């Protein structure tokens, strides 16, 4: 899903970065250092849930 939001690879500003991808398994998160999918944007989700 890394290219789902940014799909014009010819433009430097549209290239996917490490912030655009997530690891789908805990093991891949541990090996790569990429955030696990349930931890990605967790702080933002917690803020939204606590404001309700």
Q: End-to-end CA distance of the chain, in Å? A: 29
For residue 51, the model assigns a pLDDT of: 84
For residue 41, the model assigns a pLDDT of: 82
pTM (whole model) above 0.85: no
Residue 47 lies in a domain: yes
Residue 44 lies in a domain: yes
For residue 30, the model assigns a pLDDT of: 95
Counted residue by residue, the chain has a size of 52
Residue 32 lies in a domain: yes
Place of tokens 């093991």: 27
Residue 30 lies in a domain: yes
pLDDT digits (tens, 9 = 90+) for 14-47: 666 777 788 999 999 999 998 898 888 888 888 8
Place of tokens 């404001």: 51
For residue 42, the enclosing domain spans 17-51
Residue 37 lies in a domain: yes
Looking at the DSSP bridge assignments, the partners of residue 23 are 36
Contact in structure between 34 and 23 (CB atoms under 8 Å): yes
Residue 25 lies in a domain: yes
For residue 27, the model assigns a pLDDT of: 96
Instruction: Tell me how far the alpha carbon of residue 28 is from its chain's centroid.
Output: 13
Residue 24 lies in a domain: yes
Which has more confidence, 2 or 8? 8
Number of domains in the chain: 1
């Amino acid at each position: 899903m890394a290219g789902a939001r940014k799909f014009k690879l010819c433009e430097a500003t549209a290239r996917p970065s490490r912030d655009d991808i997530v690891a789908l398994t805990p093991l891949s998160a541990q090996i790569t250092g990429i955030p696990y999918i349930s931890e990605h944007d967790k702080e933002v989700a917690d803020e939204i849930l606590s404001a309700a």
